[in-house]
């Protein structure tokens, strides 16, 4: 199984989970079968958030660990067949171990609603880097 985890960067803080998925951020793609990770800039995988899911699917990544997630993003991910888990803290290795031991809770709508206040319902209020469709 491959897991996508947003991280702060690829060098100095590659072991710290970032706040959320971001096209300008970085990802650790961890392969649980090989017990190894690779770190990439999200932009190297997909030019925008709309193309990130297909890019993850092409790379056989269907599991995500993240600290925060908007309700609509959670709905899209779940509807596309992704398993999304809420991290405990920001340590990458610990959260991979938690997932392997079935100790991470699935990200549910109640968890996502904690961050819904960030989204005012208007794209002009949005703090994400996605571009709305006309």
CATH code at position 112: 3.30.420.130
- Does any domain span residue 132? no
> For 101, what's the count of Cα atoms within 13 Å in the CB-facing half-sphere?
7
- Does any domain span residue 130? no
Cα gap 123→108, rounded to integer Å: 23
Cα gap 45→126, rounded to integer Å: 23
Structural domains of the chain, count: 1
Cα gap 11→43, rounded to integer Å: 16
Per-residue pLDDT at 12? 84
- Does any domain span residue 133? no
Best CA proximity match to 4, nearest among 83, 72, 68: 83
- Does any domain span residue 22? yes
Cα gap 116→34, rounded to integer Å: 36
Report pLDDT digits (tens) over 11-57: 888 899 998 888 778 999 999 999 999 999 999 999 888 899 999 99
Domain that holds residue 42: 2-125
- Does any domain span residue 134? no
Residue 9 near residue 26, CB atoms below 8 Å: yes
Q: What is the pLDDT confidence band of residue 117, given thresholds at 50, 70 and 90? A: low
pLDDT of 125 over the 80 cut? no
Tokens of 76: 């899209």
- Does any domain span residue 80? yes
- Does any domain span residue 131? no
- Does any domain span residue 108? yes
Sign of the CA dihedral running 98, 56, 5, 85: negative
């Amino acid at each position: 199984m491959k897991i996508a985890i947003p991280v702060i960067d690829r060098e100095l803080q590659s072991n710290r989970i970032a706040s959320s998925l971001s096209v300008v951020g970085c990802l650790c793609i961890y392969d649980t079968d090989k017990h190894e990770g690779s770190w990439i800039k999200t932009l190297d995988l997909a030019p925008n958030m709309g193309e990130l899911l297909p890019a993850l699917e092409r790379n056989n990544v269907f599991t995500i660990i993240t600290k925060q997630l908007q309700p609509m993003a959670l709905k899209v991910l779940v509807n596309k067949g992704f398993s999304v888990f809420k991290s405990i803290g920001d340590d990458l290795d610990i959260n991979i171990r938690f997932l392997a031991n079935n100790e991470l809770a699935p990200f549910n709508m109640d968890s996502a609603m904690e961050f819904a206040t960030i989204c005012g319902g208007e794209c002009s209020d949005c703090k994400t880097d996605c571009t709305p469709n006309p």
